[in-house]
Amino acid sequence: MTQPRILLVDDDDLFRESLNRNLADAGFATQCCSDGTRALEELGRSELPDTILLDWKMPQMNGIDVLRELRRRNINVPVVFLTVLSDQFYEEAGLVEGAVDFVEKSRGFSILLRRLELILRGNKTPNAAAAQKPVLELGNVRLDRESKRAFWKENLVPFTVTEFQMVDCLVSKAGADVSYRELYDMVHGEGFAAGAGEIGYRTNVRAFIKRIRQKFKDADSDFSQIENYPGFGYRWGDPGAG
C-alpha cells in the first residue's frame, strides 16, 4: 500500500523533528517545512499531500493565513492545526476557516495518530459541509450552515461554532435519539476521551447542551425542543412540533 503523505509545517525545530520521527515510525511519508511561505512554495511544485499538519503560531505568516491562502488556491487538502493555544476562540476560528481538526501539542502522539486515521478514512473532510443543504429549516428553527448562524422564530441565537454543530446534528436527526458519544465525537473526533472514567465525556456534552438550551430560552422562554434520553443522550423533539 502507498504510504499516506503528510506535510508538517512548524517553526519549532525540536518539535518538528520529534513529530517527524513519530510519523515515520507510524508508516507515514512525511515532508517538513519550517514556515508557511516555504510550505506554500512546496505545495506549488510537488504532488499534494494527503493531510497537512499546520502550526498556528509562526513568524511572518501564521497558520490561519496559510490556511486561507490554501483555500484561495482551491487546495482542499485536510488541514489539522497543531498549537499550544487552548482557548476555544482559536479552535472555532480554525474550523470556520476550513480546518478539519485542532490538536493541542501537549496531547500524546496517539491522539494525533487517531485523528489522522479518521481523516484518511474520509470521516473528516473540508468539503463535508458542502454535501449538505446550505440552510436547514424545521419548524421554528433555521440553521444557516455557511455562516454558522442559527435562528429560532426568526430571532438570532448566538451560538459558538461548536454549539452550532451540535444543534445541527440534533435537528438533522429530529425525532431520533442522538448519543452522548456521537455529539462529543463530532466535535473532538471519534474515540476521543475526556473527563474521569470511560464516560467522562458525558459531563462535557451536558455542559454544552445546558448552554444551548439557555440560549434558545433567551430567545423564547417556552423553548423545549431538546429532550433528554436518560443514560443515552438527547433528541430534537417531534419534527411535527415546534
Tens of pLDDT, residues 114-148: 888 878 876 455 444 434 578 889 999 999 987 88
**Pick from 120, 150, 176: which residue ends a domain?**
120
Same domain, 104 and 139: no
- Residue 233 contacts residue 226 (beta carbons within 8 Å): no
In a domain, 242, yes or no: no
**Pick from 62, 91, 120: which residue ends a domain?**
120
**Pick from 93, 120, 147: which residue ends a domain?**
120
Same domain, 109 and 161: no
Tens of pLDDT, residues 155-191: 999 998 888 889 998 998 888 888 888 888 766 544 4
Q: pTM above the 0.75 mark?
A: no
In a domain, 33, yes or no: yes
Query: Length of the chain, please?
Result: 242
Counted domains in the chain:
2
Q: What is the pLDDT of residue 88?
A: 60
In a domain, 46, yes or no: yes
Q: What is the pLDDT of residue 220?
A: 95
Same domain, 69 and 113: yes
- Residues lower than pLDDT 50 in the chain: 123, 126-131, 189-193, 240-242
Domain limits at 215? 132-236
Q: Give Cα separations from 34 to 100, 106, 107, 186 (angstroms).
A: 21, 19, 21, 31
Q: What is the pLDDT of residue 187?
A: 62
In a domain, 204, yes or no: yes
Same domain, 151 and 179: yes
CATH code for position 75: 3.40.50.2300
Same domain, 113 and 47: yes
In a domain, 152, yes or no: yes
